[in-house]
Amino acid sequence: MMSDRNASAQSAGETAAYWFARLRSDRVSAADRRRFERWLGEDPENRAAWMASEAAWNTAGEAAADPEILAMRRQALAMRPDAWTSRWRRHAGLAAATLVALLGLSLLLPRLEPWLRGESAGSAAEAPVYQTAVGQRSTVALPDGSTVKLNTDSRILVHYGGAKRRIVLERGQALFDVARVPGRPFVVEVDDKLVTAHGTSFDVRRSETAVQITLLEGEVTVERDAGLLGYFREPVARRLAPGDQLIAIGEQPFEIRKPDVERIVSWSEGVLIFEDEPLDYVVSEINRYSLRKIVLGAETMKDLRIGGVFEPGSVAGFTAALEKTFPLTSEIDESRNVIVLRWRDSSEPL
């Protein structure tokens, strides 16, 4: 019977082989790299298995030339204590035994994943791209009658090959109005989340820290994409009802809220609606639509409560409204291309 220790080593070796292949694929995402780094730091066994996989690859004559992979290898080496040497040797045999599978995965993964997704082999390279600049909005009509409204500084890739309609939201925010086509699911991929629509209307926003999915009508299912391994295990999914908003932050459990949906999608009508929101939040939203950003000149300003309807991209109109409502003044700093909000001097009229 295999000991727990040997079983652990084998599991780490198999996972290292998967990650080695995944990180060399054309479709590796920032979320994939974050998951890899978390796995690498969870157990010294994982680092030893990763290093053994690299050693086996290099022994076979293939240099790992990708700069990001090399950086990860240097990080692993720098953090390896001397006590890992024995673990590394123990994993070397296992890594050599799985080298053939690792080589096959690394070569086939870019072609295998589109097939598993129901796409043609060349669809990724041929996918139409639609994007907006900062402050711009656009409406995209898709071949099946669906429409996508793109918010400021947004970018999507459209894959309509095979049996699945797939949209990749690479950045920004989009409002989807999906035509029902039996037998052809409509899936939006954002970060490592998959949103499957069932003839519906929903808003998806991708920020630096979170993914936000708001359902207006119909029904959607949200799940995490675990990459190639996800095809071999049951996914954890959440089904949303109209008015639901799902917040996904990293690997944390999904959070469901009941927001004011009209305010969430007000951008699609050319306005931004705020109701008793802190100034620092409102400024961050206004800044999304302008190359010239607003900055707060004092920490004491951030908790001022703001309400109203504002035009996206009009930072001058927004700051003018603030100056009429609060004891604030604004000043353009050309060197930084920003508008600085400051407390008005007590000698000046309100």
Q: What is the DSSP string of 296-329?
A: ES-GGGTT-EEEEEE-TT-HHHHHHHHHHHSSEE
In sequence order, the 6+-apart residues with CB closer than 8 A to the CB of 195 are: 187, 188, 189, 202, 204, 213, 220, 221, 222
Are the CB atoms for 288 and 282 separated by under 8 Å?
no
Domain boundaries, the chain: 4-113, 123-260, 271-343
User: d(Cα 30, Cα 191) in Å, to the nearest integer?
Assistant: 8
Asked if the model's pLDDT at residue 253 lies above 70, the reply is yes
Which has the higher per-residue pLDDT, 2 or 218? 218
Residue 326: closest CA among 291, 289, 283, 285: 283
pLDDT at 265: 95
Overall average pLDDT of the 254-278 stretch: 94
- How many Cβ atoms from other residues are within 10 Å of residue 269's Cβ? 11
In sequence order, the 6+-apart residues with CB closer than 8 A to the CB of 153 are: 132, 133, 134, 136, 171, 172, 288
Domain 271-343 belongs to what topology? Phage tail protein beta-alpha-beta fold (3.55.50)
Report the alpha-carbon angle 33-227-78, nearest 5: 25
The pTM score is: 0.66
In the chain, which ranges are continuous DSSP H helix? Answer: 4-23, 30-42, 44-59, 67-78, 85-97, 99-116, 123-126, 261-264, 279-287, 315-325
Q: Residue 251 — very low, low, confident or very high, per pLDDT cuts 50/70/90?
A: confident
- The sign of the torsion formed by the CA atoms of 35, 39, 41, 42 equals positive
Q: In whole numbers, what is the pLDDT of the chain averaged over residues?
A: 79
The answer to whether domain 123-260 and domain 271-343 are alike in fold is: no
Overall average pLDDT of the 222-236 stretch: 62
Q: Are strands 165-177 and 155-159 parallel, antiparallel or unpaired?
A: antiparallel
Are the CB atoms for 298 and 281 separated by under 8 Å?
no
* Paired residues of 171 in beta bridges: 155
pLDDT at 254: 93
Report the alpha-carbon angle 247-249-252, nearest 5: 105
Overall average pLDDT of the 265-275 stretch: 94
Structure tokens at 39: 């796995």
Which contacts qualify for 314-322: CB closer than 8 Å, 24 or more apart? 315/286, 315/287, 315/290, 315/339, 318/286, 318/294, 319/294
Q: What is the DSSP letter of 291?
A: S
Asked if the model's pLDDT at residue 17 lies above 80, the reply is no
Overall average pLDDT of the 38-50 stretch: 83
Residue 131: closest CA among 84, 99, 170, 75: 170
What CATH number does the domain located at 123-260 have? Answer: 2.60.120.1440
Overall average pLDDT of the 10-37 stretch: 73
Asked if the model's pLDDT at residue 90 lies above 90, the reply is no
Q: Residue 28 — very low, low, confident or very high, per pLDDT cuts 50/70/90?
A: low
